[in-house]
Amino acid sequence: MLELKHIQKSFDGKPVLKDISIQVEEGEIVSILGPSGCGKTTLLNLILGIIKADSGEILYNGEDLTDVFMEKRGFNIVFQDYALFPNLNVFKNITYGLKNRPEISSRKEVEELIDLLGLREHLDKNIEQLSGGQKQRVALARTMVMKPRILLLDEPLSALDGVIKESIKDRIKTIAREYHLTTIIVTHDPEEALTLSDRVLIINQGTVSQYAPPENIIHAPKNEFVRKFILNQLEIKRNNIYALFGNRVTAETQAV
């Protein structure tokens, strides 16, 4: 279990995270959701260990990681821009981290992951020959072969659309379930957070606005912010679509 206790972080004297306390169970998928600039990426970086909190504690299975360096925490992140090596092919990108630490994953485990993520037919390709969704899957595979204790994803679906988005969403869920991997995802999209996660952390003004399973957020929003920011956004999306096409669909349906 990952525990954050009273995390505070300011930049240049301006508080970004004022008091964040949450617990993430082993194998859980948690989304961090909130408006632009609310501190989502900052919180992810604090968990990863790239930056340090001003105060508060980070514990993993009871071990205090607050002052432990990033490399020693054993967490791993897939960055928003994937950060793949353009001069290496897909297979070499996936296995890059194993060069110095081959004991982490066996050849069989690497092969299983390649199949799970549907990458077998792309192994010899260069990175620039891949679509956004394929790059995303390579980035996921590259991170997964290193067997992180926690998988961190920064806006993993933001560059993807439609069917590809749904398929990556399913693969993230499958990986989290199959590997019983604690997964923490930053997103600004309420639909993504609510459909992908076991629990959603909603941050507003540096504090936890609500931290609950998606069904609770939908059926029992804890405050005005959750109602307005999260649920209204979904309602507006829906209404926009129906305002555009609702009548026409009905007319055509009736004509048939």
16 makes contact with ligand ATP (CB under 6 A): yes
Total of residues contacting ligand ATP (CB under 6 A) = 12
The phi and psi torsions of 6 (rounded to 5 degrees) equal 50, 50
CA distance 135 to 146: 17
CA 183, 184, 186, 190 torsion-angle sign: positive
* Near ligand ATP by CB under 6 A: residue from 42, 76, 95, 183: 42
* Near ligand ATP by CB under 6 A: residue from 18, 147, 173, 188: 188
13 makes contact with ligand ATP (CB under 6 A): no
* Near ligand ATP by CB under 6 A: residue from 7, 20, 39, 105: 39
* Near ligand ATP by CB under 6 A: residue from 2, 4, 31, 40: 40
CB atoms within 10 A of CB 1: 12
CB atoms within 10 A of CB 55: 13
Q: Minimal distance in Å, beta carbon 185 to ligand ATP? A: 12
Contact range with ligand ATP by CB under 6 A, out of 31-39, 98-106, 161-169, 241-249: 31-39
Nearest to 94 by CA among 132, 139, 152: 139
Q: Minimal distance in Å, beta carbon 155 to ligand ATP? A: 7
The CA–CA distances, whole Å, from 211 to 39, 60, 139, 196, 254 equal 15, 19, 28, 15, 44
Which residues make up the interface to ligand ATP (CB under 6 A)?
11-12, 16, 34, 36-42, 188
